[in-house]
Amino acid sequence: METIDITGLPLPVSRVGLGTWAIGGWMWGGSDDNRAIRTIQAAVDQGITLIDTAPVYGFGRSEELVGRALEADGRRDRAIIATKCGLEWRDGKVYRNSSPRRIRQEVEDSLRRLRTDRIDLYQVHWPDPTVPIQETAATLRQLRREGKIHAIGVSNYTVEQMKVFRDIAPIHTVQPPYNLFERAAEDEILPYAVDHGIAVLAYGALCRGLLAGSITATTKFAGDDLRRTDPKFHQPRLNQYLAAVTAFDRFARKRFGKPVIALAVRWILDRGKTVALWGARRPEQLEPVVDVMGWSIDNEGMQEIERILVETVKDPIGPEFMAPPQTSDMRAVA
Ligand code: NAP
C-alpha cells in the first residue's frame, strides 16, 4: 500500500481511503450492516488506513458501523478516522449548519457513534454561507486544542473560502469531487493545495461506480439510489460516459495490463499529493485496490486518456446535483 504523510495524523495515510457513504445506505438504496462491517475490517486488514465517514451518511449509521468495525481486534489503532461536521438533518431533509453550537454538538455525537476519544481528521462537509467562516474555523481550532480532533479538513470549499479559514486555523486536507469525469478541482483547488502543502482527498474516485467498469446501459438502481437522478446516468449522456469507460478499459489492459478501475484510481494518485476515496460496501469491491499500487501513468498515457475523453464525452456534466441546500432552503439532498 502506498502512503503519504499528513501533518497532525498519527499514521501514514494510505493513498486509497475507504469511503463509507454507501455503507450508511441513505441515497444508495440501502445497505447491509454485517457486510458493511466486514468491508471496513477488510479495508484495514489490507492496509487502508484512512476511513472517511460523516454524520449525515445514513443519519449516524455509517459512523456507528465504522465505530463497531474498528472496535474489534485493535483496528482502531491501525486506522485514521476522518469524519465531518456542518450538515444537519430534520425529517430526512438535509441542510447546512456550520455554526459553533452545531459543531460542538456534532463532535460529541460523532465521538460517541465512532466509539473513540479522538477524531483524527475533522472536516467541514460543505461551506455554510449563513455562518462566518471565521467562526467555523475558530471552533475547529478550539476542538483541536482540546484534543478532540487532531487534523482539520474542509470539503467542497472554494479557494477564497479556504483563504479566509486559514487566517484562523490550519487546513491539512481538502476534499473536492475529483475523478476522470469530474475535474473542476484542477482549476484552482489542486494548485492551491500544492502551494500550501494541503493533501487532497478526492471524493467519488469511481464516479459513483461508473469508472469501476461493471455498469451498463441497462443497470437498474433500487430505491433512493442517487444514480437514479444523477444526470450522468441518464441518456443520451450515459452512453457517452460508457463509451469512455470501454475505451479506457481497452487502453489500460493493452498498455498497463490493468482494468479501468485501476487506471481511474491510479490517474488520481498521479495528479499530486492525493488520496482517492473509494466507496465500497462489500468486501470484494476492495479486491482491485492492489491493482492500483506500484505503477504510474506516463505522459503518453496521460495524453491518451485526454484524447479518449475528448472523443467520447461530448456533453460533460459535473456533480453539482449533490450539493445540499442552505438553511433557508430545505428542498434537496446532501
Ligand atoms: P465512488 O467511490 O465513486 O463509487 C462508489 C461505488 O462504486 C460503490 O458504492 C459501488 O457501487 C461501486 N464500486 C466500488 N468498488 C467497486 C468494484 N470493485 N466493482 C464494481 N463497482 C464498485 O462514490 P462515493 O462513495 O460517492 O465516493 C467515495 C467517498 O467519497 C464516499 O463514500 C464519501 O466517503 C466521499 N464523498 C464525499 C462527499 C463530500 O461532499 N465530501 C461527497 C461524495 C462522496 P455499488 O455498491 O452500487 O455496486
Does an H or E element contain 4, and which?
Answer: strand 3-4
Confidence of residue 97 (pLDDT cuts 50, 70, 90): very high
- 13 CA from centroid of ligand 1 (Å): 19
- Burial class of 327 by CB neighbour count within 10 A (0 to 12, 13 to 18, 19+): middle
- 147 CA from centroid of ligand 1 (Å): 30
Percentage helix, strand, coil, to 5, in the chain? 45, 15, 40
The residue whose CA has the least distance to atom 27 of ligand 1 is: 204
Return the closest-CA partner of residue 143 out of 106, 174, 179: 106
The one-letter amino acid at 183: R
Measured from the Cα of 52, ligand 1's closest atom is 34
Full-model pTM? 0.97
Q: What is the pLDDT of residues 123-179, one digit of tens each?
A: 999 999 999 999 999 999 999 999 999 999 999 999 999 999 999 999 999 999 999
The one-letter amino acid at 271: R
- 53 CA from centroid of ligand 1 (Å): 12
- Decide: 55 and 83 in contact? Cβ < 8 Å: yes
Distance CA(117)–CA(142), nearest Å, equals 16
- Which of 57, 95, 122, 178 is catalytic? The answer is 57
Return the closest-CA partner of residue 331 out of 10, 94, 60, 73: 94
The residue whose CA has the least distance to atom 13 of ligand 1 is: 209
CATH topology for the 3-330 domain: TIM Barrel (3.20.20)
pLDDT of residue 329: 53
Distance CA(81)–CA(44), nearest Å, equals 11
Query: Which residues does a 6 A CB cutoff place in the pocket of ligand 1?
Result: 19-22, 52, 125, 155-156, 175, 203-209, 212, 214, 261, 277-281, 285, 288
**Cross-strand pairs, 274:** 200
Q: Is 57 a catalytic residue?
A: yes
- pLDDT above 90 (res 328): no
- 101 CA from centroid of ligand 1 (Å): 31
pLDDT of residue 92: 84
* Strand, coil or helix: 185: helix
DSSP class of residue 316 equals -
